Structure 1
Amino acid sequence: MALPTLAEESSLRDETAQQQQQQQAIQTRIDEADDETRELLTRLRDAQSSSQRLERYNNQLSSTLDEQQQRIDRQQHALETLDDTRDALPDTLQGMLDRLRALVEADMPFRHEERMARLDGLERTLADTSVSEEKRMEQLLSVWRAELDYGRNMDSWRGRLTQGDQQRDVQFLRMGRVGFYYLTPDGEQGGVWKNRDRQWHALDGAQRNMVNRGIRIANDQRAPELLSLPLSIEMDNAPSEAASQGASS
């Protein structure tokens, strides 16, 4: 067998080197294609994420615009009816005052003179044409809040009790809007106001002791506790005469 000549060996080496270069070039193009593919995938994911964020923003913006449009519509309607509202406001305020006065007159007569004086002052304010509508409404709401607050607290004060021709100094106790009591300074006499017949009813010794505890609680002289006392008003599902009334300072 004939051995390859030097020229043939040189040609074979050149061909092998060329093939290696071609393979390297192909591998480089493959690597570059992979890098480009990865970059395209990354861009695609970023674009999808941006699209989702934009869609969510558009949905939120659409909801906000709808709410703003509804608010604009309400304001426009309010402006269109403003004159009618202003014309009706004096009668509306007077009606609210009349209802409040009826409430006070039908309520337990605690601090009656003070409450009626407050209503009379409000009446004068509503009748004063120099007072702005805002000021009238503000004072009316203030009086309503004062009356509503009576239902959320307890109170005790010294005052004059009139029964027929007799007057005497006593200690009053009010428990929300459900209990109104008095106790003489010596603790020997006491009563509960009954709204159904608009008069005082005498309390026995144990009940007077409870009233005394309530007075001390109201004056921050005793820790809050449950007091068993007859109520001043009729309540559904309440015992006929005695009920446990929670006391709070």
Structure 2
Amino acid sequence: MKKRLTPARSVIAAALILGLAIPAQAQLRDALNTGEQATRRAAQIQQQINQLDDERSDMTREYRTLLQRRDAAELFARQQALVVAGQREEIESLAQQLGSIDDITAQTVPMLLSMIEDLKLFVNADLPFKMDLRQDRLAGLDGAMASANVSAAEQYRLIMEAYAAEMEYGSTMDTWPEEMEINGAPTTVQMFQYGRVALVYVTPNGRAARFDRATREWVDLPNSYVPDIQQAIRVAEGKAQQVVLFAPVQKFSVQ
């Protein structure tokens, strides 16, 4: 037998159902909110984990980079230590060489001075041609030896140049006009130098003389020498071809 609900009973039943449904919905809503918050929190935690992992990866790469730089720095330091050691050895070697150079210089200077004195003796004993030029060259050597700004190597070079110039005089012939005093009167003569064999001159009036090394004076020559001397002068000037010439000669010696 079916029971029917009266209107009053229906109202009471609806009220009971509604009273039961409202707390259930609230609990469901709270549960959903809690789940949603948990999901968001989990996402935030995962994001933090990812960020920390990225930071860890960056730190790992940076650490490896620092290790590589440290290894490179240590290798560079070892290499520089070898360079410094080599430079120290080179400095010690140079210091020893400088000491040797000082000894060599101390021995070289007297030798150079002796070479200059020998050259002076040679020039003074030689035929007196171009004496102004030659004496100036010797004075220049004295100045170079007295100067602190001229190295020993440069002094040696200048001395060897002077020796070379004197040697060249012995294999050349030259002629030039020169004023000299003859019998108390200034006279312009034509000088002729044939190496170190002879130094002669011819006056405008056709007289000739030669320089005597023994007496260090000019000695008159017979007129028979004049044509040969004049011919030699023309050869030296390039005005005539070389021919066999006759000239007075003397043995040359330096005491």
TM range (shorter): 0.5 to 0.7
Find the counterpart in structure 2 of residue 112 from structure 1.
Answer: 131
2:207 pairs with 1:189:
yes
147 and 235 in structure 1: CA distance in 2 versus 1, 3 angstrom threshold: closer
Letter in 2 for 1:124: G
**What amino acid does structure 1 have at the position aligned with 2:135?**
M
CA distance in 2, matches of 1:168, 1:201: 16
Name the counterpart of 1:212.
Answer: 230
Go from structure 1 to structure 2 and tell me whether the alpha carbon gap of 1:86 and 1:179 turns closer, same or farther (over 3 Å shift): same
User: Partner amino acid for 1:234?
Assistant: K
SS at match of 2:150: coil
Deviation at 1:191, TM superposition (A): 0.4
How many Å separate the matches in 2 of 1:118 and 1:164?
A: 31
Tell me the secondary structure at the aligned position of residue 226 of structure 1: coil
Structure 1 residues 149-180: Cα deviation after superposition (integer angstroms, max 9, x where no partner): 01111010111123464321100000011100
**2:251 matches 1:234:** yes
Alignment of 1:142-157 (within 5 A): 142-157=161-176
State the partner residue of 1:100. Answer: 119
Larger radius of gyration: 2
TM-score w.r.t. the length of structure 1 is: 0.59
Determine if contact 1:93/1:137 at 8 Å carries over to the other structure. Answer: yes
Q: Indicate the SS of the match to 2:246.
A: strand
In the alignment, the residues of structure 2 paired with residue 107 and residue 124 of structure 1 have an alpha-carbon distance, to the nearest angstrom, of 23
Q: Please, which of 168, 172, 181 is the counterpart of residue 187 of structure 2?
A: 168
Paired letter, 2:251: E
Q: Give me the CA root mean square deviation.
A: 1.9
Residue 173 of structure 1 contacts residue 181 of structure 1 at CA under 8 Å; is this kept in 2? yes
Q: TM-score, normalised by structure 2?
A: 0.57
Identity of aligned residues (%): 26
Deviation of 1:235 (Å): 6.7
Aligned to 1:122: 141
Distance in 2 separating the partners of 1:95 and 1:178: 26
Kindly indicate which of the two structures has a greater share of residues assigned to helix.
Answer: 2
2: distance between equivalents of 1:223 and 1:98?
Answer: 39
Shift, 1:216, TM fit: 0.5
The alpha-carbon distance between structure 1 residues 124 and 164, as it changes in their structure 2 partners (threshold 3 A), is: farther
Q: In the aligned structure 1, how far is the partner of 2:195 from the partner of 2:179?
A: 20
Does the CA-based 8 Å contact 1:196-1:234 persist in structure 2?
A: no
CA distance, structure 1, for counterparts of residue 215 and residue 118 of structure 2: 22
- Structure 1 residue runs of 5 or longer lacking an equivalent are 1-78, 237-249
Measured after TM superposition, the shift of residue 81 of structure 1 is 5.7
> Would you say how many aligned residue pairs link Structure 1 and Structure 2?
156
- Specify the code of the residue in structure 1 equivalent to 2:227: N
CA gap 1:90/1:163 in 2 versus in 1, 3 angstroms: farther
| Residues 1:235 and 1:133: Cα distance change in structure 2 (over 3 Å) | closer
